[in-house]
Amino acid sequence: MVRQYPIAGCSQTVMYSLDFQLELNDFTTVSPDDLTAALGFQIYNDLKNGNSSIFNSQFNIYYYALEEESAEFQPNYDPNLKVFYLMKNDDVYIPVLHTKAIDFRIVKSLHKKLKKRCVLNVMKIIFMFLTTLFPISNIFLAVVDNTANILYYQMSEGLSENQSTKTAVK
Amino acid sequence: MYLTLLNGTGFVFNVDDYMELRSKHRIMGAPVGTANTKGWSPNQSTLPVELSKFETQLLLDENIAKLVDKSKDLKAKPTAEKLEECKADFESRLLGQEEALKTEKLRETERYMDKILTGKRKKLLKQGKNELAAALTDKDVLLEMSVNFKFDRQNALLEVHCEHPTDHSAQIVTGPIVHTNSLKYRVFKDLWRRGKYVTSGDAFGADFLVYPGDPMIYHASHIVILHEQPVIKPLELIAKVRLSVIVNKSCVFAYEMENNEEEIHYQTVAWCNLGK
């Protein structure tokens, strides 16, 4: 959704900025149900707000880049896997309600699907020289509990030895 | 290589066998013997080595070792002749310690010779025996120690339980000692075949610990939790991952698909500090 509005505190030469923020309706039209849409929107706001907090210590012009960056979030629904996920560049976020079971098969299938997409993009580069190579995505589970707290977990296939574990600070 | 069946699992009584299992086959086991007169201590444990049932079964499946049952022979009542022979052997081994202990005493005396000479000379001087004090030498002290040495059985060292010294019969144990189709055994075997060092994960609330090298040198890199089904409750996942973070290890869930395929699947899950 694109809207225009003045940014307070900016000079007169910068009167307007494009707002690429997603709205709840953007999730509703993609998600299979309202609950999933609400979860996705909540995660989007959490991740977006996490990024936009950087603006407070940066120049005003950086605001535009962050907004543009947050606009790269794309809600997706895979009817074959029956899974809704939020995608941004090479990262995938799957919203999970704390009362709903997590199916490792879906995560595994999504891994495979994203790997295939990478291969297809390579073919496009070879023959069309137009598509950017799409790296193998990182998949994150975003577990939402009944207090609206969100925990993120990176899912890796196999016995991953590159995980850097650290103490939770929250 | 032979393992001895005791308490439903395999035991290793030969030190060379144990070193081979550990260094060549990545089988850890647990030393459960002791040479401490005050009782067993985990810091001073020694042979025999008790293997877990999975370790024992793995060695059988991989044809690395055979399992034997000696209970029939060793529990049989010995003949009078055999009993006398056993007593004589024990006495011989016990007395063999006398010379070894004497040698050690003399070596220790040499180690502290300066202090011993100083003490003895001081004592002689107090008694007014100045000439004897001046003439006292190392040889005199060693000779005195050698002559006065008496072997007391209470000071004898305990024997480490090694391989049975005399000939005896045993029966080869056939058939598995664990359910080889169980998920836990198959995961253990799969991890071992991947070149990992695998031990029990009970102390960490998990099924297995995975080490990149010998546990004597390395810390475990992963904790492995088994799941009979590829589905997990979020709260259970959160609890296990949080535990893994605290102990600084990666959290891995091992599961199999429901279509009866034999492949083991592993999913590593790591907490990330995203969002606000």
Token pair for B108: 């220790």
Best B192, B227, B242, B268 member to test A by mutation, with max A CBs in 10 Å, is: B268
State the residue for tokens 């605001």.
A63
Averaged pLDDT for residues A21-43: 86
- Transcribe B190-213 into DSSP letters: HHHHTT-EEEE-GGGTSSEEEESS
pLDDT of residue A50: 58
How sure is the predictor about A118, in pLDDT bands with cuts at 50, 70 and 90? Answer: low
Rounded distance between C-alpha atoms, residue B233 and residue B99, angstroms: 67
Rounded distance between C-alpha atoms, residue B35 and residue B159, angstroms: 7
Q: Choosing from B18, B185, B197, B211, which is the catalytic residue?
A: B211
Number of H helices, E strands in chain B: 9, 12
How sure is the predictor about B101, in pLDDT bands with cuts at 50, 70 and 90? Answer: confident
Rounded distance between C-alpha atoms, residue A158 and residue B8, angstroms: 33
How sure is the predictor about B49, in pLDDT bands with cuts at 50, 70 and 90? Answer: very high
- Of B155, B171, B192, the position where a domain reaches its end is B155
Averaged pLDDT for residues A67-81: 71
B258 and B183 in a single domain? The answer is yes
Give a yes or no: residue B210 inside a domain: yes
Residue A170 in this model has a pLDDT that exceeds 60: no
pLDDT of residue B102: 87
B186 and B235 in a single domain? The answer is yes
Kindly state whether A4 is in contact with chain B, defined as any CB-CB distance less than 8 angstroms. no
Residue B176 in this model has a pLDDT that exceeds 80: yes
How sure is the predictor about A18, in pLDDT bands with cuts at 50, 70 and 90? Answer: very low
How sure is the predictor about B57, in pLDDT bands with cuts at 50, 70 and 90? Answer: very high
pLDDT of residue B184: 94
Residue B137: give the domain boundaries. Answer: 80-155
Residue A61 in this model has a pLDDT that exceeds 70: no
B269 close to A44: Cβ distance less than 8 angstroms: no
B253 and B185 in a single domain? The answer is yes
Give a yes or no: residue B74 inside a domain: no
Rounded distance between C-alpha atoms, residue A141 and residue A81, angstroms: 15
pLDDT of residue B182: 92
Rounded distance between C-alpha atoms, residue B162 and residue B117, angstroms: 41
Kindly state whether A46 is in contact with chain B, defined as any CB-CB distance less than 8 angstroms. yes
Provide, rounded to the nearest whole percent, the portion of chain A with pLDDT above 70. 54
Tell me the one-letter amino acid at B221. S
From chain A residues 71-130, the ones with a CB under 8 A of any chain B CB are 96-105, 107-108
pLDDT of residue B225: 94
Give a yes or no: residue B8 inside a domain: no
Q: At residue B194, what are phi and psi to the nearest 5 degrees?
A: -80, 0
Q: How confident is the prediction for chain A on average, in pLDDT?
A: 67
Q: What is the sign of the dihedral through the CA atoms of B48, B50, B56 and B58?
A: negative
Give a yes or no: residue B42 inside a domain: no
Averaged pLDDT for residues B164-170: 77
B53 close to B188: Cβ distance less than 8 angstroms: no
Residue B123 in this model has a pLDDT that exceeds 50: yes
Residue B119 in this model has a pLDDT that exceeds 50: yes
Give a yes or no: residue B266 inside a domain: yes
pLDDT of residue B206: 93
B201 and B268 in a single domain? The answer is yes
Q: Catalytic site residue B249?
A: yes
Q: Which residue has the higher pLDDT, B112 or B166?
A: B112
Q: Catalytic site residue B197?
A: no
pLDDT of residue A136: 52
Tell me the one-letter amino acid at A132. T
Give a yes or no: residue B243 inside a domain: yes
A46 close to A73: Cβ distance less than 8 angstroms: no
Q: Inter-chain contact B276–A49, Cβ cutoff 8 Å? A: yes
B256 close to B265: Cβ distance less than 8 angstroms: yes
End-to-end Cα, chain B, rounded Å: 59
**DSSP 8-state secondary structure symbol assigned to residue B77:** P
Averaged pLDDT for residues B167-191: 89
pLDDT of residue A54: 34
Give a yes or no: residue B55 inside a domain: no
Residue A153 in this model has a pLDDT that exceeds 90: yes
Residue B260 in this model has a pLDDT that exceeds 80: no
Rounded distance between C-alpha atoms, residue B179 and residue B184, angstroms: 9
Instruction: Give the lowest-confidence range in A60-69, B29-38, B154-163.
Output: A60-69
Q: How confident is the prediction for chain B on average, in pLDDT?
A: 87
> Domains plus CATH for chain A?
2-157 (3.40.1350.10)
Kindly state whether A148 is in contact with chain B, defined as any CB-CB distance less than 8 angstroms. no
SS3 B266: strand
Provide, rounded to the nearest whole percent, the portion of chain B with pLDDT above 90. 40
pLDDT of residue A134: 42
Token pair for B2: 């032979």
Per DSSP bridges, beta strands A102-103 and A138-144 are: unpaired
For residue B48, say if its preceding peptide bond is cis, omega within 30 degrees of 0. Answer: yes
Give a yes or no: residue B88 inside a domain: yes
Averaged pLDDT for residues A30-38: 88
CATH number of the domain within which B247 lies: 3.40.1350.10
pLDDT digits (tens, 9 = 90+) for A78-111: 998 888 998 887 788 999 888 889 999 899 898 7
Q: Inter-chain contact A155–B269, Cβ cutoff 8 Å? A: yes
Number of H helices, E strands in chain A: 4, 8
Go through chain B and tell me how many residues it has. Answer: 276
Element (H, E) at B255: strand B250-255
Rounded distance between C-alpha atoms, residue B97 and residue B138, angstroms: 25
pLDDT of residue A20: 53
Rounded distance between C-alpha atoms, residue A37 and residue A49, angstroms: 18
B207 and B124 in a single domain? The answer is no
What's the structural domain count of chain B? 2
C-alpha Rg value of chain B to the nearest Å: 28
- Cα–Cα distances in Å, from B258 out to A112, B183, B250? 18, 12, 25
Best B246, B267, B273 member to test A by mutation, with max A CBs in 10 Å, is: B267
How sure is the predictor about B200, in pLDDT bands with cuts at 50, 70 and 90? Answer: very high
B151 and B230 in a single domain? The answer is no
**DSSP 8-state secondary structure symbol assigned to residue B34:** E
B189 and B256 in a single domain? The answer is yes
Q: Catalytic site residue B70?
A: no
Residue B43 in this model has a pLDDT that exceeds 60: yes
Element (H, E) at B74: helix B71-74
